[in-house]
Structure formats: structure tokens, C-alpha cells
A and B are shown apart, each in its own frame.
Chain A
């Protein structure tokens, strides 16, 4: 069971942002997607999550076609993502930001919600507890009531992750999750990712940090100018001359 992109292309008028991309993200493994800036990595994620229309090709999850699925159908297909430019809700507290991630699980009737009936309140309590568990896991329990807009960068990234995890996805698309973090923080996230993968989650990791990617990923894809120029095990791919040429100017640290 995996997330598969088959010959996926994206054209904006005359510009080809993605060119016949083939990617497979298997469950239980961490797959990397790297490439220089502007290569089209976020475009791929946007197409998978339904924010951009696919010009050509097919995207499927476990055999089910999600090429033209709407954003909430994608959510129901158990895909979650984080955003490259952090998109937390600044007006709400950290806890509230996570709570919204549980939206998919909230099933109480609209009337119950409006009137504050016990069924709605019990559900809110339940997800409140689940949110607190996440907070503990990420070591941010003390920040539960903190307004999200005032968090440090690293914490905002973790908040995004907690929110994505709240929907209990089977596949996570992480768009530069450790940008701006120090080594301690990124190491603890690396552990988390490995833990998630071991529980059966399929992870697509977009990152610039080559060391991070090669440590975590069994298989990586390299994108340049919208095209896949290499794929395979990190040790092999990173020695590929074409890949090195794409990263002209040396490694990104």
C-alpha cells in the first residue's frame, strides 16, 4: 500500500513546473525528495494534496485514485501535510491549533455543537486529552495556552507537525520540517519520524539538509527543473554527477 505518482505533470500556461514525475512513497518508510530551489518540490506536494490541479498523470493512494480529489477528500484519504512557510493560526493558542487538527474525528451533530449538549462536550474533552498527549510527546505542554503567533520558529514548526499528526494520517508530506532548527531539535524530530515510520506511516520528506535526508531516508528522489534526474539509495544518488551539478555551489548544510 503506497502513495503513488504516475507521470504527473503540471503546466502553468507555457511553463512546465513538473514534467512526468514518477514517485512512490511506501508505507512504513521515509522517502526523500530533494532538489535545488525552484525545482518544483512544493508543487508536487500541492498537487498531491489537491491545492493545485494536475495537468497530466495520476496520483493514487493504495490503489484509490486521488488525482482530482478535493482537499477534504484527501484528508479523509488519511494524508496530512506540513507547510514550507509555516501556516499556524496566530490568533489561537497552541492547544487550539492542535485541536483543529482533530476536526476529522469530531462527529457530534451540529445541533449538539451549537447548544453545547453533553455529547458535544464529551467529544471536546476527548480530543482535548489527545491534544495534550501530543503536547507531552513534543515537550511543549507548558506552552498549551500560549498564543501561537508568539512562538519561536522552532516551536511553530513543531506545532505544525502536531496538528498534522492529530488527524492520524497514514501518509505525511513534510515540506522542509527542520528549516531553522538547531541540531538538538532536528535530531529529536528525526527520532520522531523514525518512530512514526515504524508504526506504519509513509513519510515523504522534502528537505535541503542533505545530511538529515541521507540519515533518515532509504530512498530519495532528486528533482531539478520539474524533472526527476535521479532516484535511489542516498549513498548512490548523492554521488551522481548530475545531482552534484544540480547543486552547483556545494552542499547545502
Chain B
């Protein structure tokens, strides 16, 4: 029995790592920022952490913090141009950013090891660390979204004009969401570095970007459970069916098309919404307060 469980440990580790990245993506989307920069910011954090430990001999925990800081600072820098853009333009700009990070990474091969990547990173992060990180992350996402920040994010995402008329500063809040997302990506990038012995630039390219987006879109962009469900399903699928593993990108592609068209809120979000609606209708049918006609838009 323990052998089976232990056999799944690497998968669980992967799940925890990718979950953190998924939350980084999830947070910016919740604030209405159409950014896809998580992959690039994770690369920044991963390489910062890796280089600090390998070339400069920093202890891992310090390197971890500095990696998160690096992610946050780069995000802060990016947010300045990003604040003046909207919608698809933000998306394009962040994709350009990922590409720039990739190219610079390969070019600065003296520092980063170029296309071969960085090797020999001591493995200091195991399942326990990742689990603690995961719990902390979920806790933070919970507190943020239930605070005045989360409320502001929700308003900005759904209607900027309304948010502004209520005194919400759009620039400040979107920048804040982006910085937190960047720090989160940076930390998890470093966690990945300290977990996998080696880094390669290709790890943080388009396959990664698509995977993260798929986790969030499949699971749900508006509930905290969303990324958990999305990441779990997409990581488990190839395990359940071997052929799916070989056609991984094909499956992701099909899922993206299907989910966006038929279940746009994501699996977890849709289920939660439906459960909530059923519960509320039942409650209302019983009470005889205000007569309402609930119309599902």
C-alpha cells in the first residue's frame, strides 16, 4: 500500500508545484488583468534561486525569498507599461515578455547555462516543504479574495467604470495583483529549481504557459477550488490513460476548446454555482418573504 502511495509522490510534488503557478495565473485573471506572464516570472524566480545557490552559495531559504522578491520586482517593472494597456494588448505584451525572458536566458549562457540550462542544484525541497507552501498559498489566496482587495479585484474585473465610481483605484489594484502574482510565480519557480536538480529554459516556454492556463480555465477562474481541480485533472489524466500521455498537447488543446465553448466558467466553478443556485432556490421557495422571479441570465 505504502509503495503505491510513494509511487505517486512525484506526481503529488508536481501537482503542488503547478498548483502554485496556477494560482499565480488565477490571481491576475481575477483582477481583470489579462496577463500570461506567469511563465516568464517563474523563470525569473527559478533562475534567480538556482544561480544564487549554485554560483553564489546562498542557503536555499534565503535564495527562495530573494527569488520571490525578484519575481515581484520584475512584475512591478512590467506593471508600469501593462497598466496602460487593456485586454488583448496586455496578453500580447506579456507573451512578448516571456519571449524576451527566454531569449535573454539563452543568450546569457555564462550566467544561466544557456540552452543546456543550470545543473547541479542541490535538492533541498521535498514533499513536506511543498505541502506547507501549498497550504500557505491557498490560505493567502483565501484571505486576499475575502478582503477589501479581493472585492476590489472582483469589481474591476467585471466593470471598471463601476469600480472607479466607487472609489476603487484600478491602477493600484491591478498592479498589486500583478506583483503578488509575480512574487508567487518567483517563489514557485525557485521551489521547482530546488526540487528538480536542474533547470532548462524550455521549461518556461509555451508548453508551460498553455498548461498553466489550461489548469485555471478547466478548473475555474473565480473560485479558490478552481485551480486545484484543474491542475489535479490535467495531471491525473495522463496517468489514468497512457495514450493520453503521448497526446498530451492534443488533449489539452481539445479540452481548451471544449471548456471555453461549453463550460466557460470551468468545471469547479460551474458545479459550485449550480449547487449554490439549487440551495438558494430551495431556501427561497420555503420562505415567504419577497416574491422574486429568479431568472438565470
Contacts and interface: CB of A to CB of B under 8 A. Distances in A.
Contact of A104 (B140, B143, B167, B294): B167
Contact of B165 (A71, A108, A116): A71
A191 interface: no
What DSSP secondary structure best describes chain B's contact surface? helix
Given A116-B142, A142-B284, A152-B292, A96 B151 contact: yes
Interface in B119-156: 139-140, 142-144, 146-149, 151-152, 154-155
A140 B165 contact: no
Interface in A24-81: 49, 51, 71-72, 74-76, 80-81
Contact of A114 (B147, B157, B161, B297): B147
A108 B144 contact: no
A81 B165 contact: yes
A195 interface: no
Contact of A124 (B147, B162, B295): B147
Contacts of A163: 166
Nearest to A75: B167
Interface in A106-142: 106, 108, 110, 113-116, 120, 123-124, 139-142
A74 B166 CA distance: 9
B143 A116 contact: yes
Residue with the greatest number of chain B CB neighbours at <10 A, chosen from A72, A100, A101, A108: A100
B154 A100 contact: yes
Contacts of B154: 89, 91-92, 96, 100
A51 B152 contact: no
Given A89-B162, A114-B144, A115-B143, A72 B169 contact: yes
A18 interface: no
A155 interface: yes
B250 interface: no
Given A87-B162, A100-B154, A146 B144 contact: no
A91 B147 contact: no
Contacts of B159: 87, 89
Given A49-B165, A91-B158, A142-B287, A151 B152 contact: no
Interface residues of B, number: 43
A103 B289 contact: no
A89 to B, nearest CB: 4
B166 A76 contact: no
A100 B273 contact: no
A147 B296 CA distance: 10
B147 A104 contact: no
A149 interface: yes
A232 interface: no
B158 A116 contact: no
A96 B150 CA distance: 10
Contacts of B283: 142
A49 B162 CA distance: 11
A130 B156 CA distance: 22
Interface in B245-297: 273, 276-277, 280, 283-284, 287, 289-290, 292-297
A143 B290 contact: yes
B277 A110 contact: no
B295 A120 contact: no
Nearest to B160: A71
Contact of B148 (A87, A103, A143): A103
Contacts of B296: 150
A35 to B, nearest CB: 23
Nearest to B163: A100
Contacts of B244: none
A212 interface: no
Contacts of B147: 108, 113-114, 116, 120, 124
Contacts of A120: 143, 147-148
A91 B149 contact: no
Contacts of B144: 113-114
Given A116-B147, A147-B273, A149-B297, A51 B161 contact: yes
B158 A89 contact: yes
B275 to A, nearest CB: 12
A173 B54 CA distance: 62
Task: Please list the 9 inter-chain residue pairs (A to B) with the smallest Cβ-Cβ separation, ordered nearest first.
Answer: A116-B143, A75-B167, A71-B164, A113-B147, A106-B148, A89-B158, A72-B167, A142-B289, A104-B167
15 contacts: A72-B168, A89-B154, A90-B158, A91-B154, A91-B157, A92-B154, A110-B149, A113-B147, A116-B143, A139-B289, A141-B289, A142-B289, A143-B284, A146-B294, A155-B290
Interface of A: 49, 51, 71-72, 74-76, 80-81, 83, 87, 89-92, 96, 99-101, 103-104, 106, 108, 110, 113-116, 120, 123-124, 139-143, 145-147, 149-152, 155, 163, 167
